[in-house]
Chain A
Amino acid sequence: DVKVTQSSRYLVKRTGEKVFLECVQDMDHENMFWYRQDPGLGLRLIYFSYDVKMKEKGDIPEGYSVSREKKERFSLILESASTNQTSMYLCASSGGEQGVGELFFGEGSRLTVL
């Protein structure tokens, strides 16, 4: 069964802390994505990666960075967390050609920044 695993379901951090959100997929997918989801705004793409060490900005990359050192792992980094980054973060992966292929999502990581 396909699986995308996010390291933490719930996190509470303080303003200014560095935050790492980890995502691992076991499907040998080329593409991996980080979204954030806020009420009434749907899912917004933060960053995506189509290959190891490759990354592209999504619609809202400000305040975030990513790392993809291995094919199966895609990390989202908040260098200095702020309260407006309190949100649900969703990782996804897909194989082959995006836009035609299916996105597989993790369960999400709910981050609260105090």
Chain B
Amino acid sequence: LAKTTQPISMDSYEGQEVNITCSHNNIATNDYITWYQQFPSQGPRFIIQGYKTKVTNEVASLFIPADRKSSTLSLPRVSLSDTAVYYCLVGRANDYKLSFGAGTTVTVRA
């Protein structure tokens, strides 16, 4: 399983863009990169998933360089409600033992 490394915490202000980088140096050819968001007292929820280059949805963008050894989750114009823990996961089909690390706690201030 590819191990991931991400910052423990990040602070931001409302309206700013937040970029969280996740390192996964031993990512395998078949691995996808997935990000989840977790609010206090709730289960994590899926944000975005990608394999290479760039993926964008209504919530975030995911940038993956050509070597795929890292990825960056970009949250545009954050608000107070984006304060949460963000997890980066790497896994492939039939990979049931997905590993959630400690995640990155993002705190958005007014």
Contacts and interface: CB of A to CB of B under 8 A. Distances in A.
In this complex, the interface size class of chain A, counting residues with CB under 8 Å from chain B, is: 20 to 34
Interface string A92-113: 1000011110111111100000
Contacts, number: 71
Interface of A: prevailing SS:
strand
Interface string A26-41: 0000010101000011
A114 interface: no
Interface in B1-37: 31-32, 34, 36
Interface residues of B, number: 25
A56 interface: yes
A43 B87 CA distance: 10
A74 interface: no
A1 interface: no
B46 A98 contact: no
Contact of B98 (A50, A56, A98, A108): A98
A99 B46 contact: no
A50 B96 contact: yes
A12 B80 CA distance: 33
B98 A99 contact: yes
A40 B102 contact: yes
A45 B97 contact: yes
Contacts of A42: 87, 99-103
A108 B42 CA distance: 6
B93 interface: yes
B36 A103 contact: yes
Contact of A98 (B87, B93, B101): B93
